[in-house]
Structure 1
Amino acid sequence: MGAAGHIGHDDPWYDALASGWGELDGTGAPAPVVPPARREEGASRAGEVYLGVQRSAAFQEVRSRYRRFVVPGLVAFLAWYLGYVVTAQTAPGLMARPVAGAVNVAMVAGLGQFLTTFLLTWAYAWHARLRRDRAALDLRWQTQELTRGLKGGER
């Protein structure tokens, strides 16, 4: 194992390829796949592409549509959940009131929590499919084309 606390290549628990380091150079550091100058130059140009997409009106519209659905949905669901918890603690008599046979208000409200979780998940998927997916895929395609052009230009 070498020096105390040092993990070397002879350690059976160390796997350089699985750790994402890939091949190592002679010093034990990861060997760069792309020369550092080209990697930084390409990364900065790709960063400019992504920043340009982030600033675009199409991206802002996708994010706006996302927020317009998620924020009210989150607020409503948290209010419903906290309302259930607070009511269970402050009004146990109300929660114990029978609805049908052995089923009481607490059981109905608890099952309502599960139902609203599934309904909110369905509504999110429906909203994403109708309001955001096409625009997001278009942005992704444009970004891929722009970054692919950068990679082709570096060769």
Structure 2
Amino acid sequence: MSSQNSQPGGPAEHTTPGRKAQIPEQAFIEVQNSEEFGELRRTFRGFAFPMTIAFLVWYFAYVLASVYAKDFMSTPMFGEHFNVGHFLGLLQFLTTFLITWLYIRHANTKLDPIASRIRERLEGAAK
């Protein structure tokens, strides 16, 4: 690691194949204060916060039902050895995969285009 890169407050080192460029600290401050960066934060938070809350509510509802609604959770489904608790437990895994897929789709369509424009602007400031 170069000593310049480890200095606090110094310019960030941005490496591209075949060359090194310095992005001025002021460029990062300008990006942080830009409307485009604010849009990126709002877009991320608009997805992440509601999805996190929804999943946590669903998860804790499952846990609480496991503790306090034992009769309901032990209701047989699809035969004698598979019950509502098993089914809802498997849905926890399915929900996790669904949220991951939704986030990837959201990031690819909404977040990445904004982040790419910001990155290009920063790389342009390094020239």
Give the TM-score category using the shorter length: 0.7 to 0.9
1:61 counterpart = 2:61: no
Q: Please, which moves more after superposition, 130-139 or 78-87?
A: 130-139
Q: Is the 8 A contact 2:4 2:10 kept in 1?
A: no
Q: Deviations over 1:28-76 (max 9, x none)?
A: xxxx468xxxx77853982221111011001110110000000000000
1:139 counterpart = 2:118: yes
Matches within 5 A, 1:35-114: 43=11, 46-101=24-79, 102-114=81-93
Structure-2 separation of matches of 1:67 and 1:93:
38
Count of matched residue pairs: 115
Q: Which runs of 5+ in 1 are unaligned?
A: 1-19, 23-31, 150-155
Structure-1 separation of matches of 2:8 and 2:112:
32
Aligned identity (percent) is: 35
Higher relative contact order (CA 8 A, sep 6+): 2
Query: Which structure has the larger Rg over C-alpha atoms?
Result: 1
Q: CA deviation at 1:99?
A: 1.2
Q: Deviations over 1:72-118 (max 9, x none)?
A: 00000000000000110011111111011121000000000000000
Q: Deviations over 1:99-147 (max 9, x none)?
A: 111210000000000000000000001111111111111101111221x
Q: Which runs of 5+ in 2 are unaligned?
A: 13-22
Structure-1 separation of matches of 2:56 and 2:10:
44
RMSD of equivalent CA atoms: 2.3
